[in-house]
Amino acid sequence: MHLLEDEFNRFEAEGTVFGSINKADFQALKVKIPPPEKILKFEEICYPIDQQIENNEKQSRTLAALRDALLPRLMSGEVRVRRK
Protein backbone atom coordinates (compact mmCIF):
# COMPACT_ATOMS: atom_id res chain seq x y z
CA MET A 1 0.00 0.00 0.00
CA HIS A 2 2.91 2.34 0.70
CA LEU A 3 4.00 1.93 -2.91
CA LEU A 4 0.56 3.16 -4.03
CA GLU A 5 0.63 6.28 -1.84
CA ASP A 6 1.17 8.67 -4.75
CA GLU A 7 -1.74 7.11 -6.63
CA PHE A 8 -4.08 7.40 -3.65
CA ASN A 9 -2.95 10.97 -2.94
CA ARG A 10 -4.08 11.88 -6.46
CA PHE A 11 -7.59 10.60 -5.66
CA GLU A 12 -7.56 12.41 -2.31
CA ALA A 13 -6.88 15.70 -4.10
CA GLU A 14 -9.78 15.20 -6.53
CA GLY A 15 -12.52 14.72 -3.91
CA THR A 16 -14.71 17.50 -2.61
CA VAL A 17 -14.90 16.77 1.13
CA PHE A 18 -12.83 13.58 1.10
CA GLY A 19 -10.99 11.62 -1.53
CA SER A 20 -12.76 9.13 -3.73
CA ILE A 21 -11.82 6.46 -6.23
CA ASN A 22 -14.10 4.78 -8.72
CA LYS A 23 -14.15 1.10 -9.59
CA ALA A 24 -12.34 1.48 -12.93
CA ASP A 25 -9.52 3.54 -11.36
CA PHE A 26 -9.19 1.05 -8.52
CA GLN A 27 -9.05 -1.92 -10.89
CA ALA A 28 -6.42 -0.12 -13.00
CA LEU A 29 -3.99 0.13 -10.07
CA LYS A 30 -0.93 -2.05 -10.51
CA VAL A 31 0.03 -4.09 -7.48
CA LYS A 32 2.84 -6.56 -6.93
CA ILE A 33 1.83 -9.98 -5.70
CA PRO A 34 4.51 -11.95 -3.86
CA PRO A 35 5.27 -15.53 -4.80
CA PRO A 36 3.17 -18.19 -3.02
CA GLU A 37 6.09 -19.43 -0.90
CA LYS A 38 6.57 -15.94 0.57
CA ILE A 39 2.85 -15.66 1.31
CA LEU A 40 2.96 -19.04 3.08
CA LYS A 41 6.03 -18.00 5.10
CA PHE A 42 4.28 -14.75 6.09
CA GLU A 43 1.20 -16.74 7.19
CA GLU A 44 3.39 -19.15 9.14
CA ILE A 45 4.92 -16.26 11.08
CA CYS A 46 1.84 -14.07 11.48
CA TYR A 47 -0.94 -16.58 12.17
CA PRO A 48 0.19 -17.37 15.74
CA ILE A 49 0.55 -13.65 16.44
CA ASP A 50 -2.96 -12.97 15.10
CA GLN A 51 -4.34 -15.80 17.26
CA GLN A 52 -2.67 -14.35 20.36
CA ILE A 53 -4.09 -10.91 19.59
CA GLU A 54 -7.57 -12.42 19.25
CA ASN A 55 -7.17 -14.34 22.52
CA ASN A 56 -5.95 -11.21 24.31
CA GLU A 57 -8.93 -9.21 23.03
CA LYS A 58 -11.37 -11.88 24.26
CA GLN A 59 -9.67 -11.99 27.65
CA SER A 60 -9.72 -8.19 27.86
CA ARG A 61 -13.49 -8.12 27.16
CA THR A 62 -14.06 -10.84 29.78
CA LEU A 63 -12.02 -8.98 32.39
CA ALA A 64 -13.78 -5.69 31.61
CA ALA A 65 -17.19 -7.36 32.03
CA LEU A 66 -16.09 -8.87 35.33
CA ARG A 67 -14.80 -5.51 36.52
CA ASP A 68 -18.02 -3.78 35.49
CA ALA A 69 -20.06 -6.38 37.38
CA LEU A 70 -17.95 -6.40 40.55
CA LEU A 71 -16.91 -2.78 40.97
CA PRO A 72 -20.36 -1.40 41.87
CA ARG A 73 -20.84 -4.25 44.37
CA LEU A 74 -17.44 -3.58 45.94
CA MET A 75 -18.08 0.16 46.13
CA SER A 76 -21.48 -0.33 47.77
CA GLY A 77 -20.11 -2.82 50.30
CA GLU A 78 -22.35 -5.60 48.99
CA VAL A 79 -19.20 -7.64 48.33
CA ARG A 80 -16.27 -7.54 50.69
CA VAL A 81 -12.67 -8.59 50.16
CA ARG A 82 -10.89 -10.46 52.95
CA ARG A 83 -7.46 -9.24 53.95
CA LYS A 84 -4.78 -11.75 54.81
User: What value does the mean pLDDT take over residues 66-80?
Assistant: 94
39 and 21 assigned to the same domain: no
Tally of domains in the chain: 2
Do 41 and 75 belong together in one domain? yes
46, 77: one domain: yes
- The answer to whether residues 49 and 80 belong to one domain is yes
pLDDT (0 to 100) of residue 25? 82
Asked whether residue 27 falls in the same domain as residue 42, the answer is no
Highest average pLDDT, of 8-12, 17-21, 56-60, 78-82, comes from: 56-60
Which pLDDT does position 69 carry in this prediction? 95
Q: Are residues 26 and 12 in the same domain?
A: yes
Question: Are 62 and 38 in a shared domain?
Answer: yes
For residue 23, the Cα-to-chain-centroid distance in whole angstroms is 25
Task: Verify that 7 and 37 share a domain, yes or no.
Answer: no
| pLDDT mean over 13-24 | 68
pLDDT for the residue numbered 29: 83
21 touches 12 (CB < 8 A):
no
Domain housing 17: 1-31
Q: How far apart are CA 37 and CA 60, in angstroms?
A: 35
Rounded to the nearest integer, the mean pLDDT of the chain is 87
